[in-house]
Amino acid sequence: MEKITVKVRRREGCEDLPLPCYMSEGASGLDLYADVDADLSLEPGQIKMVSTGIHIALPEGFEAQIRPRSGLAIKHGIGIVNSPGTIDADYRGLINIILINFSDAPYVIKRGSRIAQMVINRIYHAQWQQVDELESTVRDTGGFGHTGV
Mean pLDDT of 79-84: 96
pLDDT digits (tens, 9 = 90+) for 120-145: 999 999 999 999 999 999 888 877 77
Residue 21 confidence (pLDDT): 96
* Whether 31 contacts 69, CB under 8 Å: yes
- Looking at every residue in the chain, the average pLDDT score rounds to 95
Is the torsion defined by CA of 118, 93, 35, 43 positive or negative? negative
Three-state secondary structure call for residue 73: helix
Type and span of the H or E element at 87: strand 85-87
Three-state secondary structure call for residue 111: coil
84 has a pLDDT exceeding 90 = yes
- Report yes or no on whether pTM surpasses 0.75: yes
pLDDT digits (tens, 9 = 90+) for 93-121: 999 999 999 999 999 999 999 999 999 99
Residue 149 confidence (pLDDT): 60
How many Å apart are CA 53 and CA 108, to the nearest integer? 18
Q: What are phi and psi of 4, to 5 degrees?
A: -125, 160
What are the structural domains of the chain? 9-122 (2.70.40.10)
